Amino acid sequence: LLMEGDLHRAFEDRHFELCYQPKIDTESAKVVGAEVLLRWRHPEKGLISPGEFIPVLETSGLILDVGQWVLEEACRQLKSWQDQGIWQDDMRLSVNISPRQFRRRGFVDDVIRTLQQIPIVPHTLDMEITEGVVIQNVEETIFTMTTLSTQGISFSLDDFGTGYSSISYLKRLPVAALKIDQSFIRDIPHDRNDRVLVETIVAMGRLLGLEIVAEGVENETQLALIRDFGCHYYQGYYASAPVDAATFVQILTAVE
Ligand code: G
Ligand code: G
Ligand code: MN
Ligand code: NA
């Protein structure tokens, strides 16, 4: 059982690290960016997935410090790749922002200060938010998103389709991209209903002028289907699992 104290110590002892999962263009197969994913390297248990500890971080409030660290670490890495010329200006790095982190008073100021301290190329940072961010206070959410948009940050709506009222937010929020949850992608090769849902989400998103990202693409059949539906980008084991920074650089610099 994971306890708050363990997480506190892990953070202080710097046992958290970031990994990167490439986002791929379904047509050109080029890397268009990556999602940053947090990992806990436990001295005895090995790598622990955030599914197991993000909820504890969230309820304990530790997510505020850890989330700010993730943002800074991601920006430092991004800037380093930009300085080395291996991150193109049309690529974006996506950071997950938890509801509590996003809604905290001072979040906007922290982000702006971070961008001043770590001057990445504008328009290369994206934030993935879930419906959980939105439902509490839509007006405040729009204000936060609009303010950060003027700083060159884009927003992706994560886990799209798993909530209950996502569609009503789409026309109100300044989001650039929709991420279709992997639970919808998994069975599209043999489940007609899932195919219809995914095709419909892609069509709707495209008509709204959004970029569409499919998550959890694991095979060529799934990729061929989403490509035919008009889905722009994908993530998933078919291209690459989340990998450490060094491995991600190898992917970025591989001769195509
Ligand atoms: O990498 P993995 O599939 O185990 O991630 C599990 C969940 O944890 C995903 O829903 C992902 O969005 C979330 N997650 C991963 N990294 C972060 C992070 O840095 N901050 C927040 N808030 N959530 C994260
Ligand atoms: O909730 P979010 O979408 O941010 O988190 C994505 C999670 O899904 C990560 O923990 C990542 O490790 C996992 N993941 C990434 N690609 C695949 C995939 O192709 N198949 C499966 N089953 N999981 C994946
Ligand atoms: Mn995500
Ligand atoms: Na997701």
The ligand 1 atom nearest the CA atom of 95: 19
Q: What is the mean pLDDT of residues 197-209?
A: 96
Q: Are strands 233-234 and 16-25 parallel, antiparallel or unpaired?
A: antiparallel
Tokens of 247: 């491995």
Measured CA to CA, the distance from residue 227 to residue 220 in angstroms comes to 10
The pLDDT value given to residue 1: 65
Which contacts of 191-197 are long-range, i.e. CB under 8 A and separated by 24 or more positions? Answer: 195/225, 197/161
Q: Where are the alpha helices (DSSP H) in 61-137?
A: 63-83, 99-103, 107-117, 131-134
Residue whose entry in the numeric block shows the structure tokens 């940053």: 36
Q: Is the CB of 38 under 6 A from ligand 1?
A: yes
Q: What is the mean pLDDT of residues 103-114?
A: 96
CA 72 – ligand 4 centroid, Å: 21
Give residue 136's pLDDT band: very low, low, confident or very high (50, 70, 90). confident
- Out of 11, 21, 37, 130, mutate this one to test ligand 1's pocket (max ligand atoms within 8 Å of CB): namely 37
Q: Residue 112: helix, strand or coil by DSSP? A: helix
Q: Residue 57: helix, strand or coil by DSSP? A: helix
Give residue 164's pLDDT band: very low, low, confident or very high (50, 70, 90). low
The pLDDT value given to residue 138: 87
Taking only the tens place, the pLDDT of each residue in 95-106 is 999 999 999 999
Give residue 170's pLDDT band: very low, low, confident or very high (50, 70, 90). confident
Maximum Cα interatomic distance, the chain, rounded to a whole number of Å: 49
Residue whose entry in the numeric block shows the structure tokens 């959004």: 210
Domains along the sequence of the chain with CATH:
4-253 (3.20.20.450)
CA 179 – ligand 4 centroid, Å: 6
Measured CA to CA, the distance from residue 236 to residue 60 in angstroms comes to 31
The pLDDT value given to residue 240: 98
The pLDDT value given to residue 190: 97
The pLDDT value given to residue 171: 82
Taking only the tens place, the pLDDT of each residue in 74-93 is 999 999 999 999 999 999 99
The pLDDT value given to residue 217: 98
DSSP 8-state assignment for residue 164? S
Mean pLDDT, the chain, rounded, equals 94
The pLDDT value given to residue 100: 93
The pLDDT value given to residue 165: 63
